[in-house]
Amino acid sequence: MRTTIFLITLLFTAAVIKAATITVCPDCECSSIGQAIESANAGDEVLIKSGLYQEGNILVDKALRLRGEGWPVIDGENETEVITVTASGVTIEGLVVRNVGTSYLEDRAGIRMQRARNFIIRNNRLENTFFGVYLEHCSDGLVSGNLIEGQAEEEMSSGNAIHLWYCKRMQVEENEVRGHRDGIYFEFVDDSRIRNNTSEDNLRYGLHFMFSNDDDYSRNTFRRNGAGVAVMFSRNINMWENRFEYNWGRAAYGLLLKEIYDAEIRNNTFLENTIGVYVEGSTRIRYRHNEFNRNGWALKMSGGCLDNIVNENNFLHNTFDLSLNSAPNNNSFDGNFWSDYNGYDLGRDGVGDVPYHPVKLFNYVVNRTPEAMVLLRSLFVSLLNFSEKVSPSLTPANVADNAPFMQKLNFSKDKPAY
Amino acid sequence: MFKILKYSFYDLSRSRWIYIYGAFYLLLTASLLWLGGGVSKAIISLMNIILVLVPLIATMFGVMYYYNSREFTELLLAQPIRRSHIFFGQYLGVASSLAISLLLGVGLPFVLYGIFTSPEIWNFSVLLLVGFFLSFIFSAVAFFIALRNENRIKGFGLAILVWLFFAVIYDGLFLLALSLFSDYPLETFAIGASMFNPIDLSRILILLKLDISALMGYTGAVIQKFLGTMMGMACSLGVLLLWAVLPAWGIKRVAVRKDF
Nearest CB neighbour to B214, from listed A274, A375, A382: A274
Q: Report the phi/psi class of residue A201: left, alpha or beta, with left for phi > 0 and alpha for psi in -120 to 50.
A: left
Which of A261, A143, A162, A273 has the alpha carbon at shortest distance from A213?
Answer: A261
Nearest CA in chain A to B182: A369
Contact B172 A249 (CB under 8 A): no
Nearest CB neighbour to B219, from listed A365, A373, A382: A373
Mean pLDDT of chain B: 87
Which of A75, A65, A119, A122 has the alpha carbon at shortest distance from A96?
Answer: A75
Q: What percent of chain B has pLDDT over 70?
A: 95
Any CB–CB contact under 8 A between A383 and chain B?
yes
Which of B139, B123, B121, B125 has the alpha carbon at shortest distance from B198?
Answer: B139
- The mean pLDDT of B52-74, rounded to a whole number, is 91
In a domain, A274, yes or no: no
Query: In sequence order, what are the residues at sequence separation of 6 or more whose Cβ sits closer than 8 angstroms to the Cβ of residue B135?
Result: B54, B58, B95, B98, B99, B102
Mean pLDDT of chain A: 88
The CATH number that applies at residue A194 is: 2.160.20.10
**CA-based nearest distance B190→chain A, Å:** 7
Contact B47 A377 (CB under 8 A): yes
Give how many domains chain B has, as a whole number: 1
pLDDT at residue number A418: 46
Contact between A125 and A146 (Cβ < 8 Å): yes
A212-271 residue pLDDT tens: 999 999 999 999 998 889 999 999 999 999 999 988 877 788 999 999 999 999 999 999
- The mean pLDDT of A155-161, rounded to a whole number, is 88
Q: What percent of chain B has pLDDT over 90?
A: 45
Q: What percent of chain A has pLDDT over 90?
A: 60
Q: Say yes or no to pLDDT of B228 above 90.
A: no
- The mean pLDDT of A306-327, rounded to a whole number, is 88
Contact B220 A250 (CB under 8 A): yes
Contact between A175 and A119 (Cβ < 8 Å): no
Contact A252 B44 (CB under 8 A): no
Q: Domain containing B157: what range?
A: 2-257
Q: What percent of chain A has pLDDT over 70?
A: 94
Contact between B41 and A293 (Cβ < 8 Å): no
3-class secondary structure for A160-215?
Answer: CCEEEEEEECCEEECCEEECCCCCEEEEEEECCEEECCEEECCCCEEEEEECCCCC
pLDDT at residue number B241: 93
Taking contacts as CB-CB distances below 8 angstroms, the residues of chain B near A297 are 215
**What pLDDT band is residue A417 in, cutting at 50, 70 and 90?**
very low
State the pTM of this model: 0.84
Give how many domains chain A has, as a whole number: 1
Any CB–CB contact under 8 A between A296 and chain B?
yes
Quote the ipTM score: 0.84
In a domain, A149, yes or no: yes
- The mean pLDDT of B76-100, rounded to a whole number, is 89
Q: Give the H/E segment covering residue B11.
A: helix B2-13
Taking contacts as CB-CB distances below 8 angstroms, the residues of chain A near B214 are 248-250, 252, 274, 296
Q: Report the phi/psi class of residue A169: left, alpha or beta, with left for phi > 0 and alpha for psi in -120 to 50.
A: left
**CA-based nearest distance A84→chain B, Å:** 42
In a domain, A336, yes or no: no
Q: Best residue in A246, A247, A371 to probe B by mutation, most B CBs within 10 Å?
A: A371
Nearest CB neighbour to B190, from listed A248, A249, A371: A371
Q: What whole-number distance in Å separates Cα of residue A288 and Cα of residue A270? A: 13
Q: Which amino acid is at B128?
A: L
In 3-state terms chain A splits into helix, strand, coil percentages (rounded to 5) of 15, 40, 50
End-to-end CA distance of chain B: 20
**What pLDDT band is residue A9 in, cutting at 50, 70 and 90?**
low
In a domain, A289, yes or no: no
Nearest CB neighbour to B203, from listed A296, A369, A378: A378
In degrees rounded to 5, what are phi and psi of residue B13?
A: -70, -10
In a domain, A218, yes or no: yes
Q: Say yes or no to pLDDT of A60 above 90.
A: yes
Taking contacts as CB-CB distances below 8 angstroms, the residues of chain A near B217 are 250, 370, 373
Task: Give the dihedral sign, CA A89/A199/A192/A101.
Answer: negative
Q: Say yes or no to pLDDT of A197 above 80.
A: yes
Contact A376 B220 (CB under 8 A): no
In degrees rounded to 5, what are phi and psi of residue B67?
A: -65, -35
- The rounded Cα B141 to chain-centroid distance in angstroms is 10
In a domain, A131, yes or no: yes
Contact between A218 and A241 (Cβ < 8 Å): yes
A75-128 residue pLDDT tens: 988 888 999 999 999 999 999 999 988 888 888 999 999 999 999 999 999 999
Query: In sequence order, what are the residues at sequence separation of 6 or more whose Cβ sits closer than 8 angstroms to the Cβ of residue A321?
Result: A292, A297, A298, A299, A315, A338, A340, A358, A359
Contact B200 A378 (CB under 8 A): yes
**What pLDDT band is residue B190 in, cutting at 50, 70 and 90?**
confident
**CA-based nearest distance B172→chain A, Å:** 6
Which of B145, B160, B246 has the alpha carbon at shortest distance from B195?
Answer: B246
B12-23 residue pLDDT tens: 777 888 899 999
Any CB–CB contact under 8 A between A394 and chain B?
no
Nearest CA in chain B to A297: B215
Q: Say yes or no to pLDDT of A2 above 70.
A: no
Please tell me whether residue A80 adopts helix, strand or coil conformation: coil
A131-157 residue pLDDT tens: 999 999 999 999 999 999 998 888 888
Contact between A244 and A266 (Cβ < 8 Å): no
In a domain, A179, yes or no: yes
Q: Say yes or no to pLDDT of B99 above 50.
A: yes
Q: Say yes or no to pLDDT of B119 above 90.
A: no
Q: Best residue in A272, A300, A367, A378 to probe B by mutation, most B CBs within 10 Å?
A: A378
Contact B175 A372 (CB under 8 A): yes
Taking contacts as CB-CB distances below 8 angstroms, the residues of chain B near A368 are 179, 182
Contact A373 B186 (CB under 8 A): no
Highest mean pLDDT among A3-12, B56-65, B179-188: B56-65
In a domain, A267, yes or no: no
Contact A374 B48 (CB under 8 A): no
pLDDT at residue number B14: 78
Q: Domain containing A178: what range?
A: 16-226
pLDDT at residue number B85: 87
Any CB–CB contact under 8 A between B231 and chain A?
no
**Pair type for strands A171-173 and A120-122:** unpaired
Any CB–CB contact under 8 A between A224 and chain B?
no
Q: Give the H/E segment covering residue A109.
A: strand A109-114
pLDDT at residue number A240: 93
